[in-house]
Structure 1
């Protein structure tokens, strides 16, 4: 069996690149993901659009972010909990959120997602990674 490169082992987070809250989420992950497990694709980039469409999400009406990892594709609160748990350490406790029924968790998530621009703001352009972060972003 051929060894996988770090890029092949990386999980991909597809996020809304113009959402202020979503950009804060990416900054949060970059600051805590010391193993560089996660790579990122803004929904507005060709790569982000392709990944959303390939997993049944409308790239023109993004209501969720998408996590692609070794176990498959995840959205909504399942994706949030998997991303946090993937950071390791105490963040693994995020998986305890599964005690709340998925339908209720996702109802709350969708409510926040629908109001994210109004409550947290919107940028005119996608997140611009620093030169040190650029290798973690997928654009085309």
Structure 2
């Protein structure tokens, strides 16, 4: 585990989901300023995050973005915030915030319900540099 994860934005994802793993890889490739770390929702760290906030600890259909010591984002708002933090062309995603969360979350939920059909379940193996960005405790 990398030191100072408290200074990072932590992306919590379903470690058993091909679509989620695809997006983790996508973020890793674009995170040039090392703003993100990752933890699966199934990990002890992920389970602790969920339990401390009274969130679902058995069903993993929601992406969370958390800046320790601050609030967290869920579903479509987490996706938009990740893009905004990545910066560059992705910062244009801020325009998506004009869509009410209840509408954009409906699209998110539709994708979430069908995610196992959308991606093959290839195992993601991070390279040694990427592995430092995963919290496994």
Q: 2-side partners of 1:119 and 1:7: how far apart? A: 31
Q: 1-side partners of 2:118 and 2:108: how far apart? A: 14
Q: 1-side partners of 2:83 and 2:61: how far apart? A: 20
- 1:26 maps to which residue? 24
> Residue 66 of structure 2 is aligned with which of 65, 68, 71?
68
Q: 1-side partners of 2:54 and 2:96: how far apart? A: 25
- Deviations 1:43-91 (CA, angstroms, capped at 9, x unpaired): 1211112112223321210120110026411101110000010001121
> Residue 134 of structure 1 is aligned with which of 128, 131, 134?
131
Query: Which runs of structure 2 are paired with 1:104-119 in the superposition (5 Å)?
Result: 104-119=103-118
Q: 2-side partners of 1:6 and 1:49: how far apart? A: 20
Asked if the contact 1:49–1:59 (Cα under 8 Å) also holds between the matched residues in 2, the reply is: yes
TM-score by length of 1: 0.87
Q: RMSD in angstroms over aligned alpha carbons?
A: 1.8
TM-score by length of 2: 0.88
Asked if the contact 1:52–1:66 (Cα under 8 Å) also holds between the matched residues in 2, the reply is: no
- 1:100 maps to which residue? 99
- Deviations 1:19-63 (CA, angstroms, capped at 9, x unpaired): 111111011101000111000001121111211222332121012
Which runs of 5 or more residues in structure 2 are unaligned? Answer: none
Deviation, 1:118, is 2.1
- 1:77 maps to which residue? 76
Asked if the contact 2:63–2:74 (Cα under 8 Å) also holds between the matched residues in 1, the reply is: yes
